[in-house]
C-alpha cells in the first residue's frame, strides 16, 4: 500500500510539474508532445532539480535510512483531487521534501546494508536523462535490433579483454573473435547477430528452454 501511495504521489507530481511548465512559461500546449523544446521554464526547473539531486546525494548519510512514517501518511498531505489549474513550480518543488521524502527508503545511503547500497551513479543518471529525452522505446523492429547489437558489441569487447589477459600475449582481435560464439533463441532475428561479427548458435524454443 505504501508503494502504491508513493507511485500515486509521483504520478500526481509529474502531472503537476507539466502543468506548472505550461503555466510558468505560458506555453499554449495540449499534451506533452506539444511542449516546445525551448520552453525556458523547463530549463530552469531542470537545473534546480539537478542541484537538488546533488545536494540530496551529498547529504544522504544524514537522513534516516528507513522511514518512520505510518501507512497512509500521505493522505493528510495531498488534496482530495488533482488541481484543475497549474500549480507553480515552487509549490511542487516543496512537495518533494514534504510529501515524497518522508516515505522513501534511501537505498543510496552508506548506512543502507540490507542490499547493495550503490544502485546508481552519476554517469547512469546522466544516461537516463538522455534516454528519457530520446524516448527510445525498445519494442519496434529497429530499436530492438539496435539495442541488441549494442549489447552484443559490449559483451564481445568485454570477453575479448578477458581472453587477452588470459593469453597474456599480443594476439590479433580476429583471432580472439574467432573463439567467440553467441547463443540465442530461434525466435530472434539472425540479422542483428550477423552484424556482431561472430557466429551464432540458435537454440530451439520450447516450454522448458528458459
> What integer is the mean pLDDT of 123-142?
75
pTM over 0.85: no
**Nearest residue to 89 via CA among 17, 3, 170:** 17
Given a cut of 80, whether residue 3 has pLDDT beyond it is: no
Task: Give Cβ neighbours of residue 60 (< 8 Å, ≥ 6 apart).
Answer: 106, 108, 109, 110
* In the block, residue with C-alpha cell 539537478: 50
Q: How far apart are CA 184 and CA 205, in angstroms?
A: 9
Q: How confident is the model at residue 18, as a pLDDT?
A: 47
Q: What is the reported pLDDT for 125?
A: 85
Residues constituting the chain: 210
**How do residues 6-41 score in pLDDT, each as one tens digit?**
444 445 445 544 444 444 444 444 355 555 555 667
Domains belonging to the chain, first-starting first, are: 2-134 (1.20.1340.10), 141-203 (no CATH)
Contact 44, 25 (CB under 8 A): no
**Predicted pLDDT at 174:** 82
Q: Which residue has the higher pLDDT, 189 or 78?
A: 78
Q: Where are the beta strands (DSSP E) in the chain?
A: 182-185, 200-203
pLDDT level of residue 99 (50, 70, 90 thresholds) = very high
Mean pLDDT of 168-196: 76
Calculate mean pLDDT across residues 151-174: 84
- Rounded CA-CA distance 199/197 in Å is 7
Question: What pLDDT score was predicted for residue 101?
Answer: 94
Amino acid at each position: 500500500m505504501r508503494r502504491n501511495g508513493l507511485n500515486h504521489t509521483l504520478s500526481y507530481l509529474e502531472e503537476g510539474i507539466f502543468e506548472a511548465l505550461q503555466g510558468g512559461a505560458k506555453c499554449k500546449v495540449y499534451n506533452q508532445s506539444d511542449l516546445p523544446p525551448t520552453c525556458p521554464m523547463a530549463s530552469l526547473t531542470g537545473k534546480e532539480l539537478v542541484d537538488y539531486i546533488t545536494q540530496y546525494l551529498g547529504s544522504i548519510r544524514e537522513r534516516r535510512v528507513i522511514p518512520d512514517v505510518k501507512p497512509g501518511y500521505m493522505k493528510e498531505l495531498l488534496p482530495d483531487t488533482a488541481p484543475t489549474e497549474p500549480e507553480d513550480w515552487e509549490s511542487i518543488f516543496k512537495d518533494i521534501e514534504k510529501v515524497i521524502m518522508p516515505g522513501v527508503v534511501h537505498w543510496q545511503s552508506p548506512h543502507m546494508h540490507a542490499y547493495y547500497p550503490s544502485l546508481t551513479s552519476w554517469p547512469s543518471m546522466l544516461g537516463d536523462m538522455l534516454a528519457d529525452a530520446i524516448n527510445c522505446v525498445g519494442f519496434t523492429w529497429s530499436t530492438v535490433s539496435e539495442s541488441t547489437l549494442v549489447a552484443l558489441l559490449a559483451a564481445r569487447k568485454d570477453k575479448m579483454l578477458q581472453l587477452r589477459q588470459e593469453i597474456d600475449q599480443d594476439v590479433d582481435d580476429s583471432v580472439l573473435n574467432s573463439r567467440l560464439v553467441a547463443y540465442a533463441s530461434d525466435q530472434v532475428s539472425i540479422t542483428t547477430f550477423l552484424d556482431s561479427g561472430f557466429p551464432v548458435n540458435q537454440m530451439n524454443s520450447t516450454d522448458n528452454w528458459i
